[in-house]
Amino acid sequence: MIKVAFYDTKQYDLPSFEKYGKERGISFKFFEAKLDLETAQLANGCDGVCVFVNDDVNKDVINKLYELGVKFIVLRCAGFNNVDVNAAFGKIHIYRVPAYSPYAVAEHAISMLLTMNRRIHKAYIRTREYNFSLNGLTGVDLYGKTMGVVGTGKIGQIFVKICKGFGMNVIAYDKFPNPNLDIEYVDLDSLYRNSDFISLHCPLTNENFHMINAENMEKMKKGVGIINTSRGGLINAEDLLREIKARKVGFACLDVYEEESDIFFKDKSGHILDDDIFRNILSMPNVLVTSHQAFLTEEALNNIADTTTKNILDYYENKVNDNELCYHCTNIENCRKKRKVKCF
């Protein structure tokens, strides 16, 4: 039986990982703790570890795991900014799940837009308290409005199709436009100036950090609706708060927040939130926040557990696997995967 220490366990992880683990001869030891230098010891006696977005897989942690005899780290997510892949090279094999359900994220983005536009979140609370007034619940027709989509990859493409289904005009910006798609690409400035709503579906990079800032919001239409299901760092939250207060931004739907790691995924009710900017944003009537929930469908959870356990089996079968990461992946030209050999 392959033994794997599973860090930062959430209740929703259990059914799918228990099922696939049982089917594929993998025994998961579930820990609530996140992986760090202190908790690395929990992996003693395990062949590998399984981590999520907020586990800290730095050089010291990797060396500690290596000392303990850990042979692989499987990420149950796509992003790997929390893993020092250079430090792991030659010691511990690292795998990720590059895609699990783009539908889940695109559908969540559109749910947030629909909820906010038609004030469903307010109507739900009102009618439960026998308040059947319609005052303040007016939305707009999405039909004929312009949606600006940033990033037309797996999620962005599905989101575009959904918007077109509503009869919206869609314009898009992508650093690497895809000529095979039936999408009208524009430059970012035109997207900012012409969109009624803007939805972000690109990765966070050094280049686009805080792309939604005061300067760019200034270019947008008054009353623009901003939807972010990608990464919090794409938006300068302080600037967003200012533009909401100035009535420039009509609403914001946020599934991600730059400083989310100490807040999201936890029950913080009864606590005082120290983050003044986030508290102020949350208090705005035209802001809808979900706590990094866009991926959370049964299909996505199933796909994550399926791919993660397959990655583990591929490690044991010595297979070349495109989900394996190493420092070469930061330099695509040198990527050994092109040469069809294992990373090391």
What values do phi and psi take at 277, rounded to 5?
-65, -45
> Crossing angle, helix 102-117 and helix 298-316, to 10 degrees?
160
In the complex with ligand NAI, the residue whose CB is nearer, 34 or 292, is 292
Sign of dihedral through CA atoms 30, 51, 44, 312? Answer: positive
Q: How far is the CB of 341 from ligand NAI (least distance, A)?
A: 24
Residues of this chain that interact with ligand NAI (CB under 6 A) are: 78, 99, 102, 105, 150-156, 173-176, 201-203, 205, 207-208, 229-231, 255-256, 292, 294-295
In the complex with ligand NAI, the residue whose CB is nearer, 119 or 201, is 201
Residue 107 CA to residue 116 CA, distance in Å, equals 14
Lookup: tokens for 185: 């690409």
Residue 178 CA to residue 175 CA, distance in Å, equals 9
Coil, helix or strand at residue 70:
coil
Residue 63 CA to residue 87 CA, distance in Å, equals 8
> Crossing angle, helix 102-117 and helix 120-128, to 10 degrees?
60
- Indicate if 231 belongs to the active site: yes
Instruction: Give the DSSP letter of residue 236.
Output: -
Q: Where on the phi/psi map is residue 279: left (φ > 0), alpha (ψ -120 to 50), or beta?
A: alpha
- Residue 254: strand pairing partners: 228, 289
Instruction: Choose the catalytic residue: 258, 292, 324, 328.
Output: 292
- Indicate the residue whose CB is closest to ligand NAI: 153
Count CA atoms within 13 Å of residue 251 on its CB side: 20
Coil, helix or strand at residue 336:
helix
What values do phi and psi take at 269, rounded to 5?
-65, 140
In the complex with ligand NAI, the residue whose CB is nearer, 207 or 333, is 207
Q: How far is the CB of 261 from ligand NAI (least distance, A)?
A: 14
Q: How far is the CB of 324 from ligand NAI (least distance, A)?
A: 17
Amino acid (one-letter) located at 79 = G
Instruction: Choose the catalytic residue: 231, 258, 324, 328.
Output: 231
Q: Are 294 and 104 in contact (CB under 8 A)?
A: yes
Q: How far is the CB of 200 from ligand NAI (least distance, A)?
A: 8
In the complex with ligand NAI, the residue whose CB is nearer, 4 or 183, is 183
Q: Locate tokens 């005009």: which residue?
A: 169
Q: How far is the CB of 163 from ligand NAI (least distance, A)?
A: 15
Q: How far is the CB of 198 from ligand NAI (least distance, A)?
A: 12
In the complex with ligand NAI, the residue whose CB is nearer, 3 or 175, is 175
In the complex with ligand NAI, the residue whose CB is nearer, 99 or 162, is 99
Residue 229 CA to residue 251 CA, distance in Å, equals 14
Residue 269 CA to residue 327 CA, distance in Å, equals 40
Q: How far is the CB of 288 from ligand NAI (least distance, A)?
A: 14
In the complex with ligand NAI, the residue whose CB is nearer, 17 or 52, is 52
Tell me the catalytic residues: 231, 260, 292
